[in-house]
Amino acid sequence: DGGITQSPKYLFRKEGQNVTLSCEQNLNHDAMYWYRQDPGQGLRLIYYSQIVNDFQKGDIAEGYSVSREKKESFPLTVTSAQKNPTAFYLCASSIQPNTGELFFGEGSRLTVL
């Protein structure tokens, strides 16, 4: 079955540590996205990638980094520079950039202790 897989589902981190969230898709979609969701807030775009080896900052990119070395993979690193990293992180993809619906992964919940 095609879909988007995020891992880990739950992650705990100490302050000052970097952590990488995995996102893999086998839908053959060109575009991939990372969103952050906080209670009472809408989904906010962190980074997006329209094609392999290219990515763009979203609305809240500070303290995050990404890579897109393969079409299927778009990992997100939450660095120690991110001041409030505790959140629910959602990865998504779409067939082409800026068209069609988004398909979401199951999410990764990061808690900083």
Partner 1 sequence: GQNIDQPTEMTATEGAIVQINCTYQTSGFNGLFWYQQHAGEAPTFLSYNVLDGLEEKGRFSSFLSRSKGYSYLLLKELQMKDSASYLCAVRDPDGGSQGNLIFGKGTKLSVKP
Instruction: Assess 107 for contact with partner 1 (CB under 8 A).
Output: yes
Count of chain residues binding partner 1 (CB under 8 A): 24
Instruction: Assess 74 for contact with partner 1 (CB under 8 A).
Output: no
| Cβ proximity to partner 1, 31 vs 78, nearer residue | 31
86-105 residues near partner 1, rule: CB under 8 A: 88, 90, 97-98, 101-105
List of E strands, the chain: 4-7, 10-13, 19-25, 31-37, 44-51, 54-57, 64-66, 76-78, 87-94, 103-104, 108-112
For residue 35, count other CB atoms closer than 10 A to its CB: 23
Radius of gyration of the chain (CA): 13
Instruction: Assess 62 for contact with partner 1 (CB under 8 A).
Output: no
Quick note: the x/- pattern for partner 1 over 18-57, rule CB under 8 A, is ---------------x-x----xxxxxx--x-------x-
For residue 6, count other CB atoms closer than 10 A to its CB: 21
Instruction: Assess 15 for contact with partner 1 (CB under 8 A).
Output: no
